[in-house]
């Protein structure tokens, strides 16, 4: 996190100043703002340098930086990225292998990720009946133990057929 400009490092001639308790002092000169900050025995911190005129707050720099770091950390906690994990099966994949792949897909769904199920079709297999291919994907979906919903129904893709599922 970058340290904001404070006190005499602020280049603007005029600032919109906010007091230590959130009160608005309006647009005043830098010198006037510095005097007010000195009255409260606090720092003048530039909050919004791109605003016209720039916005500054009278506060303790250490406490301000601590609060900002805490906000940033809290924001990172709440931001959970959802990944799309992939499971690939072929036409002749056996039941045991299907159950292992379904187990892995269930784990990923439980973590909150989306799962893309790809039915890989080599060569001429791409031209098989679409209903037959969807049944092959359904075989795997029946083995998934976590409740899920189909986010993207099975459809043809360049390498075969894909479907995307996510936690219900």
Supply the CATH number for residue 21's domain: 3.10.20.80
What is the extent of the structural domain holding 46? 7-76
Other Cβ atoms within 10 Å of 89 Cβ, number? 19
Q: Is residue 1 domain-resident? A: no
Domain count, the chain: 2
CA distance 25 to 31: 14
- Give, for all 168 residues of the chain, the pLDDT tens digit: 678 888 888 888 899 999 988 899 889 998 999 999 999 899 999 998 888 889 999 999 999 999 989 988 888 877 767 788 999 999 888 999 999 999 999 999 998 899 999 999 998 888 888 899 999 899 999 999 999 999 889 999 888 999 999 988
For residue 127, the cross-strand partners are none
Residues 108 and 57 in one domain: no
Other Cβ atoms within 10 Å of 64 Cβ, number? 17
Complete DSSP assignment for 149-165: EEEEEEEEETTEEEEEE
Give me the residue label for tokens 């037959």: 132
CA distance 114 to 110: 10
Edge-to-edge strand ranges of the sheet holding 148-157? 84-90, 114-120, 160-167, 148-157
Which of 76, 107, 122 is at the close of a domain? 76
Task: Indicate the pTM of the whole model.
Answer: 0.54
Range 35-41, long-range pairs (CB < 8 A, 24+ positions): 37/7
């Amino acid at each position: 996190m970058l340290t904001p400009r404070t006190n005499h490092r602020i280049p603007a001639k005029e600032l919109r100043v906010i007091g230590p308790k959130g009160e608005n002092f309006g647009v005043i000169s830098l010198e006037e703002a510095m005097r007010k900050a000195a009255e409260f025995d606090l720092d003048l911190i530039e909050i919004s340098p791109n605003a016209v005129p720039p916005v500054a707050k009278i506060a303790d720099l250490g406490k301000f930086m601590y609060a900002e770091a805490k906000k940033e950390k809290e924001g990172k906690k709440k931001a959970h990225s959802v990944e799309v994990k992939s499971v690939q099966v072929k036409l002749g994949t056996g039941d045991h292998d299907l159950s292992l792949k379904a187990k892995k897909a269930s784990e990923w769904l439980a973590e909150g990720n989306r799962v893309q199920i790809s039915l890989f079709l080599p060569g001429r297999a791409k031209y098989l009946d679409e209903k037959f291919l969807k049944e092959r994907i359904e075989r795997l979906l029946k083995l998934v133990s976590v409740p899920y919903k189909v986010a993207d129904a099975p459809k043809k893709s360049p390498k075969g057929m894909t479907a995307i599922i996510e936690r219900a």
